[in-house]
Chains A and B, each alone.
Chain A
C-alpha cells in the first residue's frame, strides 16, 4: 500500500492547485523539505493545539503553541502561543488545559491564528506528539475557512518513540501502555518535567523530545539519517 501512496510533495502540489488564492494556497505553494534532507539540516515546526474536545467535527481549537526546530537547534525566538477567541463556552475542557472562558473571550480571531500557523509552517515539517490530533484540527479549520484541507509533511514523536522502544536489540514488540506518552518519553531521556497542557510548553516539550530521539536514532544508524527515515504520514 505504501508504494501506491503519493509523496507528500505530490499531494501538496495538487492541493495547492485546488486551494483558493490566499494564505492556504501560499502555504501549499512552498515546497516541503525534500525527503532526503539530513536531519541535521531539517527545518521543523513543533506544534501543539489545545481543543474543546477530541471530536474534529464538533470541537474547536482554543489555543495553539509552536516553536521552530532548525536541524539540531530549537529556536526559542520563534516560539509563539495564541489563544483563539470564540463565542462558545470551553466548558469542562478548561479543567484539562486551564484556559478559561474569559481568556478565550479576549483571544484572537480563529482565522488570524490559522494564518499565523500557516506562515510559520511554510517550508517546514510539522512536528507533534500524536500528530494526527494537530493535523486533524488544523485541517478542519482550513476546511471551514478556505474550503480546502491542509496537507503537511509530518514527523510524529509518538511514532518515533514507539520505534525507539521496539527497535532496539531485545526490545519488546509492544512497549508498555503509556510508555510512548509525551511525559513518559521525556522522562526516559532525563528531560526536565514540565507542567502539561499549556500549548507552547507542550510544543517545546515535543521539540526537546525530538532532539533526544534523533540523537538516539542517529547513534543506532550507520549513516546520517534523513527526513525519510523518521517520517510517518
Chain B
C-alpha cells in the first residue's frame, strides 16, 4: 500500500493562496512533487542575473525581494511566494530574494508550476491578479456603508422615483405651464420639443422673468424658459448631481435616459438627504459679504470631512466635495475682491482665473496649499496686469486666512510669471513641450492639471486644446514626465515592521502622498497626456487612458482602486488630525493603521510600483530617443 501523504505540508499549502484553490486530490499529491530547503538569515534564495526554476514558497521565516537596483519590491512571511517572474516570464532573475529571518522554504519545480497553471486557471491568475483583486476588495469595503443607508451612493433615479415627470410641449403658453405645475404640485416643468428637452421653467423663472417683467401669460413659454438646461444621466450618483448643481448654480436638474427626460431632481430633494452639509457650506459661502465670513465658513470643512469619512462616503466623492468648497471659497474671494477693486480700477479686464494641481483634478484633501494662475485675454487693455496683481494679492491673503497656505513653489497669480496673456501662456507651454529643460518641466507639470474657476472659460479652453495637440508629439517632454512619474517610489519598506513582528518597532512614518497618491497622479498624467486626452481628474484620466489602450485597462482599474483606498486612509487620518487640532498632513505612524489598512495599503503600493515598472519597461526607448 502506497501511503505517502505529507499531511503537514498539504495542510500548510491548503491554507495559502493560490494553493488553497486547488482540488483536494491535487493538493494531497503536491508535496511529493516539491523539495524543501533551509536558508539562514541574510542568505540569498535567488540572485539577479542567475536562472531560477522553482516557485519559492515560504514555509516559515520571512524573505524580501529586491530589484536589480537593490530597491525593495516586497517582503513577506509564511505563505509568501517568490520566483514566479522567472517561471511565467523569463530567466535570468531580475530580482534578488533574500532570507531576512532563518527561513524554511518549499520549492515547486518549473514543470509542475506550468502543469498546475495550465490545469487550474485560478492558480495561474493568482500571480497576475492577486494584488489587483485584493486591493479592489479593500477599496470597495471602505466605500460601503455598513448600515446600508449610503444615501450619497444613491443615484438620481432613486430620487425621482416617487414624482411623476411634469412636462409641457414647446408650443404651450406660460399660463398652461403654470397650471400644469400647480396641479402636479411641482416647482418646475420641462418644456419638450418632441421627445427632446428644449428647456425648463421653474417657480423662480415665473417670478423673475414673467411676473416681475409683466409678461403676457398667454404668450408662449419658450422665451421665458431656460433653454437647453444642464441635464444629467439617470444613473448619476446623488453626490455628483449635488456638485453639478452647486457648480452650475442651478436648483433643478433634469435626468435623462437615452436622451429622453425621466424626471427632475431639485436641490431640495438633495438637501433632504442627511449628509449634504456640503450644500449648506457652499450655499453659505456664496452668501458671505466679507472675507471674515468666508474664512469662518471654510473653517467648517475639516468637520465636514470627518462626517463624510464616518459615513463611509468614498474618497473620490469626499475630495470632490472638499474641492467644491474650495472652489466656492476662492470664487467668493474673487468676487469680493472685484467689488473692492471696482472703485479704483473699474470693471475687470477679460481674464480666466484657473486653479491648478489637486484642486483642478477635483482631488483636494485637507491642508492643501493654493495653486492658481491667470490667463489674460490678448486684447486686454494696458494695465490689466496691474489689476490682476491687485486682485491676486487680495485673494491669496483671503485664502491663507481661510486655511489654504501659500504655495511653496510660488505657483500663484501673485507671481508675475503666472499671470500672462494667452499668447504668453502658449509660448510658455510650447517651450515646456517642445524644448524641455528637465528642471523646468518638473516644476511645470502642475500646469498640465488646470481648470478654469472664474472668468472667461474660453481662454482656458483655447489653451487646453493647444496643449492636447502638442503633447503627444513632445517626446522629450513625455520622457521627462515619465521620469517624474517614476521618481516617487511607493514606501514599501515601511511595511517591514508589520510583516516582521520581531523586526522591532518601526518609528518611521508612512507618506501617503509622495509614493502613493502623488505617484498615481503622476502616472495618470503621463498616460493621459501622452494619449492626447483632456481629462484632468486622475480617475477619469486613468479610465480614459485604459479605454484608448494607452495603459492596460486592468492596471488602470487597479490604480483607480489604489487611489481610492490610499486617499480614504489619508482623509480619515487628516480628519483625525483636524479634530485633534493639528495641521492635516499625509504622514501616518504605524500605530495609526489597522491590520486591514496595513495589508491593503501594502497591496495598493504594490499596484503603484507595478504600474511604474511597466511604464519604465514597456517602451524604454519610446520617449527617450
Which A residues have a C-beta under 8 Å from some C-beta of B?
Answer: 72-77, 79-83, 106-108, 189-192, 194-195, 198, 200-201, 204, 207-208, 211-212, 214-216, 219
Contact = CB atoms under 8 A, between A and B. Distances in A.
Contacts, number: 82
Contacts of B3: 81-83
Given A76-B34, A83-B3, 4 more contacts: A76-B35, A211-B104, A212-B102, A215-B102
B61 A76 contact: no
Contacts of A212: 38, 102, 104
B102 A190 contact: yes
B33 A77 contact: yes
A76 B38 contact: no
A76 B7 contact: no
Contacts of B5: 81, 200
Contacts of B7: 195, 198, 201
Contact of A76 (B32, B60, B102): B32
The listed residue with most A CB atoms (<10 A of its CB), out of B3, B33, B39, B102, is B3
A14 to B, nearest CB: 35
A76 B59 contact: no
B8 interface: yes
B46 to A, nearest CB: 15
A202 to B, nearest CB: 10
A190 B107 CA distance: 18
A199 B8 CA distance: 12
Given A212-B102, A219-B40, A201 B8 contact: yes
B1 interface: yes
Contacts of B34: 76-77
B4 A215 contact: no
B547 interface: no
B101 interface: yes
Contacts of A191: 60, 104
B42 to A, nearest CB: 11
B36 interface: yes
A215 B40 contact: yes
B14 interface: no
11 contacts: A74-B36, A77-B32, A79-B31, A82-B3, A106-B1, A189-B38, A190-B102, A192-B60, A198-B7, A204-B8, A211-B104
Interface string B16-35: 00000000000000011111
B172 interface: no
The listed residue with most A CB atoms (<10 A of its CB), out of B12, B36, B38, is B38
A214 B5 CA distance: 27
Contacts of B60: 190-192
Contacts of B32: 76-77, 79
B66 to A, nearest CB: 21
A192 B12 contact: yes
A13 B34 CA distance: 35
Nearest to A75: B35
Contacts of A106: 1
A200 B37 contact: no
A73 B4 contact: no
A77 to B, nearest CB: 5
A76 B1 contact: no
A107 B4 CA distance: 14
A107 B2 CA distance: 11
Contacts of B37: 72-74, 211
Nearest 4 interchain pairs by C-beta: A211-B38, A74-B36, A215-B40, A192-B60
B101 A190 contact: yes
Given A76-B33, A77-B32, A190-B61, A200 B6 contact: yes
Contacts of B38: 72, 189, 208, 211-212, 214-215
Given A190-B101, A190-B102, A195 B35 contact: no
Contacts of A192: 8, 12, 59-60, 78, 104
A189 B36 CA distance: 15
Given A73-B35, A77-B32, A83-B3, A189 B102 contact: yes
B623 to A, nearest CB: 46
Contacts of B59: 192
B231 interface: no
B31 A76 contact: yes
B388 to A, nearest CB: 67
A24 B38 CA distance: 33
Contacts of A76: 6, 9, 31-36
A188 to B, nearest CB: 10
A212 B102 CA distance: 8
Contacts of B31: 76, 79
A141 B6 CA distance: 26
Interface string B90-107: 000000000001101001
Contact of B1 (A108, A190, A207, A215): A108
Nearest to A216: B40
Nearest to B502: A190
A204 B101 CA distance: 21
The listed residue with most B CB atoms (<10 A of its CB), out of A74, A76, A192, A207, is A76
A38 B6 CA distance: 29
A119 to B, nearest CB: 15
Contacts of B1: 83, 106-108
A198 B37 CA distance: 21
A216 B4 CA distance: 30
A73 B243 CA distance: 64
A200 B107 CA distance: 19
Contacts of B107: 73
A76 B39 CA distance: 17
Interface in B90-144: 101-102, 104, 107
Nearest to B101: A190
A211 B59 CA distance: 14
Contacts of B35: 73-77
A83 B1 CA distance: 9
The listed residue with most A CB atoms (<10 A of its CB), out of B4, B9, B31, B37, is B4
A172 to B, nearest CB: 22
Given A72-B37, A75-B35, A212-B38, A194 B101 contact: no
Nearest to B36: A74
Nearest to B59: A192
A208 B40 contact: no
Contact of B36 (A80, A82, A194, A208): A208
A195 B8 CA distance: 8
The listed residue with most B CB atoms (<10 A of its CB), out of A82, A192, A204, A207, is A192
A108 B3 CA distance: 11
Contacts of A208: 36, 38, 104
A226 to B, nearest CB: 19
Nearest to A208: B104
Contacts of A211: 36-38, 104
Contacts of A200: 4-6
Nearest to A77: B32
B588 to A, nearest CB: 30
Nearest to A215: B40
